[in-house]
Chain A
Amino acid sequence: MKKILTYLLAILGIVGISFAEDERRILAIGGTVTEIIYMLDGQEELVGRDTTSSYPPEAVDLPDVGYIRALAPEGVLSVEPTMIIAEASAGPLETIETLKSTGINYVEVDEGFTANVITRKIEIVGQAIGKVEAAEALASKVALQIAKAKAKANNISEKKRVLFVLSNNEGELRVGGAHSSADAIITMAGGINVAKEINGYKSITNEAIITENPDVIIMMNRHGTDDVYLSVLTHPSIKLTNAGRNQALIKMDGLLMLGFGPRTGEAITQLSNLIYPEK
């Protein structure tokens, strides 16, 4: 009897150990990766995140291993991940190479501003955390949401002219030009990006602001005071535009609007409703 019990305990012990070894510890690098993992209900296995992972709010409680482009290898290893799921821009390269050399399962997801890239992101994350079916369901749901939102947003006769302002540095405005994430979301939401002449996030001259005459200004939500929005609306050139005259300034969460994660459909609808409140 005693012997059998010992055997049983031993077997239980082995099973226990192998379970312990199988325990997956996932580190999410990149705001949208974290979002997707939460949406696929995989957060039980999450042990860490990067600084850009700010949604959902409970994700903020996870240890932060640093900014996505300036990761230090030891900080990353200290949360003892067995799997790292990272956006393609994670770096620096030396850190990524060191991490890969430890035998940690390193999964890289693409970044881009189209529905296709988003669904692929979801599928890759789903495969990595073993939730393929849930991922497929989420991917098709997200794709449908985006398509619907885009169609509805662009079904408009008179499109508004939109300017995305990233920052106001002593009167010098940095805006979202062509090929930027802001440009992509503005177009999807049925607006016309007036800063198309500029490539990426750059500063714009005052004269261009006045000639382009935006109807609406978009900015990212910020903590703290409203001074920055006020400074943009009272900017000498913005004041002369339609947006300035009508005090038309939209504030939206940065990760939601520019992250191109699973909430992009929601972002398009929300932004479109804010640009066209009369609709």
Chain B
Amino acid sequence: MVEATLTHGQSLSSGRSDRAWRWVTILSIFFVLVALWSLTVGATDLNIIRLFNSFFGIEALSRRDEVVLYQIRFPRLIMGMLVGASLACSGAIMQGLFRNPLADPGVVGVSLGASLGAVIMIVLGNSVLIGVSEILGVYDVPIAACIGAWTFTLILYAISSIRGQTSVALLLLGGIALGAIVGAIVGLITYFADDNELRELTFWNMGSLAGVTWPKVISSAPLMVIVLMAVPFLAKMLNGFAMGEAVANHIGINVQNAKRVLIVAVAISTGAAVAVSGGIGFIGLVSPHLVRVTLGPDHRYLLPAAGLIGAILLIVADSIARVIIAPAELPLGIITAIIGGPFFIWMLLRGGGTRL
């Protein structure tokens, strides 16, 4: 009898894991297809046949098409992939750490810090910080946003850690308090912005991958790739947390250490993602939920699957952004919100809110 139950239990869990891996495989294939498709989408006419011909050296592309493909669409694809996957994984990590379905990468203050950094550089880069802005060139805003994101997370972490213990509740509340202060500073600086700077700020907040170049990819990709590669390791920690901090402690997880690692991982990858892409909402919130309603809450599948979905969503959104009003372009953040919002509502209604 006991034996029977055990076997039954094992077969159940192995059936679930088979199903999960099948889904991850399907997602991977779909991801590759979407990535290839996105290379053929854009204002310039460069279809799939000519793309393949150029890959296999059958037909040479014109100088313009070469630039479009290798200097514009390729770096954009790579960046979209990494940003989407990073935001989605970070969202899943935050939801797991806080055991709160509404958490997203912004919870640790990354987005606030990044926007503060960006605002400072955009507005003061022409006056007070002109020296810094001249040295950094096109990287001024991304670097300022990244520094802002990390600094802010650090401050928030310090606030919420008392006697070597980080309180998750303090982290959330401290984030709200700090957010109010940062909001005031952003408002103050914005007040002094001129018309052009205001425009630039608005565009930054709406997010875009239009300005992505290879040097930008090369400088930000390592930060995102490192965290994505650590996903299997992070997943184990998160599974421990799923049962609460006390249980996690009992099954041998160093809770304080795990919190630190998880927060740092999110800060590093989202900081880099937000710095290059600006404000892109919903990917971090929606992707993990999409996985949870089909695959369940096991982080070993949740993280990679959410990462894949995030990458797919972002690539699709970016492809739409660049053709919907071609030859002009819509900011990416608008598309992700337009797709993400209703989709999220549908998902909530479908599951009756019970499976979150």
Q: Say yes or no for B59: interface residue by CB 8 A criterion.
A: no
Beta-carbon contact of B137 and A93 below 8 Å: yes
Beta-carbon contact of A66 and B195 below 8 Å: no
Interface window among A74-82, A136-144, A232-240 = A74-82
Beta-carbon contact of B67 and A66 below 8 Å: no
Residues in A53-71 with C-beta less than 8 Å from chain B: 63-67, 69-71
Residues of A within 8 A of B191 (CB): 202
Residues in B132-190 with C-beta less than 8 Å from chain A: 137-138
Q: How far is the CB of B320 from chain A (nearest CB, A)?
A: 13
Evaluate whether A77 and B68 lie within 8 angstroms (CB atoms) in the complex, with A65-B328, A66-B327, A93-B137 already known: yes
A65-B328 Cα distance, complex, nearest whole Å: 4
Beta-carbon contact of B200 and A93 below 8 Å: no
Q: Say yes or no for B322: interface residue by CB 8 A criterion.
A: yes
Beta-carbon contact of B200 and A72 below 8 Å: no
Q: Say yes or no for A260: interface residue by CB 8 A criterion.
A: no
Q: Say yes or no for A155: interface residue by CB 8 A criterion.
A: no
Q: CB within 8 A of A76: which of B196, B216, B327?
A: B327
Residues of A within 8 A of B195 (CB): 200-201
Residues of B within 8 A of A221 (CB): none
A98 (CB) vs chain B CBs: closest residue: B71
Q: Say yes or no for A224: interface residue by CB 8 A criterion.
A: no
Contact with B along A194-209 (1 / 0, CB 8 A): 0000001110000000
A67 (CB) vs chain B CBs: closest residue: B328
Q: Say yes or no for A73: interface residue by CB 8 A criterion.
A: yes
Beta-carbon contact of A72 and B210 below 8 Å: yes
Q: How far is the CB of A65 from chain B (nearest CB, A)?
A: 4
**How many inter-chain contacts with C-beta < 8 Å in the A-B complex?**
91
Beta-carbon contact of A65 and B199 below 8 Å: no
Residues of B within 8 A of A102 (CB): 63-64, 67
Contact with A along B191-204 (1 / 0, CB 8 A): 10011100110010
Q: How far is the CB of A185 from chain B (nearest CB, A)?
A: 15
Evaluate whether A65 and B211 lie within 8 angstroms (CB atoms) in the complex, with A74-B42, A74-B43, A201-B195 already known: no
Contact with B along A76-110 (1 / 0, CB 8 A): 11111000000001001111011001110000000
A51-B211 Cα distance, complex, nearest whole Å: 19
Beta-carbon contact of A97 and B213 below 8 Å: yes
Beta-carbon contact of A78 and B326 below 8 Å: yes
A176 (CB) vs chain B CBs: closest residue: B195
Residues of A within 8 A of B44 (CB): 74, 77-78
Q: Say yes or no for B73: interface residue by CB 8 A criterion.
A: yes
Residues of A within 8 A of B42 (CB): 74, 78
Residues of B within 8 A of A200 (CB): 194-195
Beta-carbon contact of A77 and B328 below 8 Å: no
Q: Say yes or no for A48: interface residue by CB 8 A criterion.
A: yes
Q: How far is the CB of A71 from chain B (nearest CB, A)?
A: 8
Q: How far is the CB of A153 from chain B (nearest CB, A)?
A: 26
Beta-carbon contact of A75 and B211 below 8 Å: no
Contact with A along B18-48 (1 / 0, CB 8 A): 0000000000000000000000001111000
Beta-carbon contact of B322 and A74 below 8 Å: yes
Beta-carbon contact of B71 and A95 below 8 Å: no
Q: How far is the CB of A229 from chain B (nearest CB, A)?
A: 21
**Chain B interface residue count, Cβ-Cβ cutoff 8 angstroms:** 32
Residues of A within 8 A of B298 (CB): none
Q: Say yes or no for B72: interface residue by CB 8 A criterion.
A: yes
Most chain-B CB neighbours within 10 Å: which of A64, A74, A95, A102? Answer: A74
Beta-carbon contact of B210 and A98 below 8 Å: no
Residues of B within 8 A of A66 (CB): 327-329
Evaluate whether A101 and B138 lie within 8 angstroms (CB atoms) in the complex, with A70-B210, A75-B326 already known: no
B206 (CB) vs chain A CBs: closest residue: A70
Residues of A within 8 A of B199 (CB): 67, 69-70
Residues of A within 8 A of B68 (CB): 74, 77
A72-B211 Cα distance, complex, nearest whole Å: 7
Beta-carbon contact of B194 and A72 below 8 Å: no
Most chain-B CB neighbours within 10 Å: which of A48, A79, A94, A103? Answer: A94
A73-B211 Cα distance, complex, nearest whole Å: 8
A66-B42 Cα distance, complex, nearest whole Å: 14
Contact with A along B53-96 (1 / 0, CB 8 A): 00000000001100110011100000000000000000000000
Q: CB within 8 A of A94: which of B67, B203, B213, B327?
A: B213
Q: How far is the CB of A164 from chain B (nearest CB, A)?
A: 13
Q: How far is the CB of B317 from chain A (nearest CB, A)?
A: 15
Most chain-B CB neighbours within 10 Å: which of A70, A73, A103? Answer: A73
Residues of A within 8 A of B203 (CB): 69-70
A94 (CB) vs chain B CBs: closest residue: B211
Residues of A within 8 A of B327 (CB): 48, 63-66, 72, 74-76, 78-79
A201 (CB) vs chain B CBs: closest residue: B195
A102-B69 Cα distance, complex, nearest whole Å: 12
Most chain-A CB neighbours within 10 Å: which of B42, B67, B199? Answer: B67
Beta-carbon contact of B138 and A74 below 8 Å: no
Residues of A within 8 A of B210 (CB): 70-73, 92, 95
Q: CB within 8 A of B328: which of A51, A73, A97, A201?
A: A51
Residues of B within 8 A of A48 (CB): 327
**Shortest 3 CB-CB distances between A and B: which pairs?**
A66-B328, A78-B43, A75-B327
Q: List 15 A-B contacts (CB under 8 A).
A: A48-B327, A64-B327, A67-B199, A70-B199, A70-B208, A74-B68, A74-B73, A74-B322, A75-B327, A76-B327, A77-B72, A78-B326, A92-B138, A92-B210, A98-B71
Query: Which of B's residues lie within 8 Å of A, judged by CB?
Result: 42-45, 63-64, 67-68, 71-73, 137-138, 191, 194-196, 199-200, 203, 208, 210-213, 216, 322, 326-329, 331
**Other A-B pairs beyond A71-B210, A72-B328, A78-B44, 8, CB < 8 Å:** A69-B199, A72-B329, A75-B329, A77-B43, A92-B210, A94-B216, A95-B211, A202-B191
